[in-house]
């Protein structure tokens, strides 16, 4: 005899993400990487390891610079606010340009990117992975950047053609780069990126729960969404229903 489901409620599963939880952690990490490059702090760390009292020479300032941010969502907006706070002019690059995201001075479409790269003093990416972004930072991308410009990637490793980045650094076609993400991860010990000049690498630690506030925000989002479900209200950050 089959089971009788009369009178039972049908359950609906709602899948939501934690958008809004990682902005502070990832944006602060990305800004720290950019400042590390501008102030040549990585060179002084290397000199410290060698017990060498060496002057690395002239440095740059974020004040008055033009920063191009690829990806103008929650993390990109958080970074834009920090960058503007230290005097940078920040342009966001995103698919939908109808609305100026919080923190940005201007917004542009992805199709505008080739014309924007030669104007930027720094290019910082928070773009997600996928067919539309994989390999975007290729040889042509770095060729359009200024020799004095910096590149920071805190989005996904697949964005970067790592051979093209290595060539740009070795040939001095950009001033420096910082990667929190690579492809693959972990980056193999034999990768030439480890020995590339003017490159800072961190092992995908910008996000996660390294910053305690991130976990607290994730929990707050979960609690708020659970309350919405109980009250029959709309859930935030919905990815899918089942």
- Residues labelled catalytic: 156, 185, 204
Residue 32 bridge partners (DSSP): none
Cα torsion angle, 122, 135, 70, 213, sign: negative
**How many Cβ atoms are within 10 Å of 192's Cβ, its own excluded?**
10
First to last CA, the chain: 28
CA distance 145 to 22: 28
Residues in the chain: 242
- Kindly tell me the burial class for residue 186, based on how many C-beta atoms sit within 10 Å of its own C-beta (0-12, 13-18, 19 or more): exposed
């Amino acid at each position: 005899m089959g089971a009788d489901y009369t009178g039972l409620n049908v359950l609906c599963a709602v899948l939501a993400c934690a958008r809004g939880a990682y902005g502070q952690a990832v944006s602060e990490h990305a800004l720290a990487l950019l400042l590390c490059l501008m102030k040549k702090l990585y060179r002084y760390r290397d000199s410290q390891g060698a017990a060498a009292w060496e002057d690395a020479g002239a440095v740059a300032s974020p004040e008055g610079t033009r920063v191009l941010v690829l990806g103008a969502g929650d993390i990109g907006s958080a970074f834009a606010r920090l960058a503007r706070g230290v005097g940078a002019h920040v342009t966001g690059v995103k698919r939908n340009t109808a609305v100026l995201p919080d923190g940005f001075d201007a917004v542009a479409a992805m199709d505008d990117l080739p014309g924007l790269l030669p104007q930027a003093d720094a290019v910082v990416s928070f773009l997600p992975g996928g067919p539309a972004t994989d390999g975007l930072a290729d040889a042509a991308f770095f060729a359009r950047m200024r020799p004095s410009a910096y590149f920071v990637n805190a989005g996904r490793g697949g964005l970067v053609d790592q051979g093209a980045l290595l060539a740009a650094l070795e040939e001095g076609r950009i001033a420096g780069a910082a990667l929190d993400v690579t492809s693959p991860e972990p980056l193999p010990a034999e990768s030439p990126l480890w020995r590339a000049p003017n490159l800072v690498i961190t092992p995908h630690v910008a996000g996660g729960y390294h910053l305690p506030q991130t976990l607290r925000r994730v929990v707050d989002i979960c609690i708020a969404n659970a309350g919405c479900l109980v009250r029959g209200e709309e859930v935030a950050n919905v990815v899918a229903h089942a």
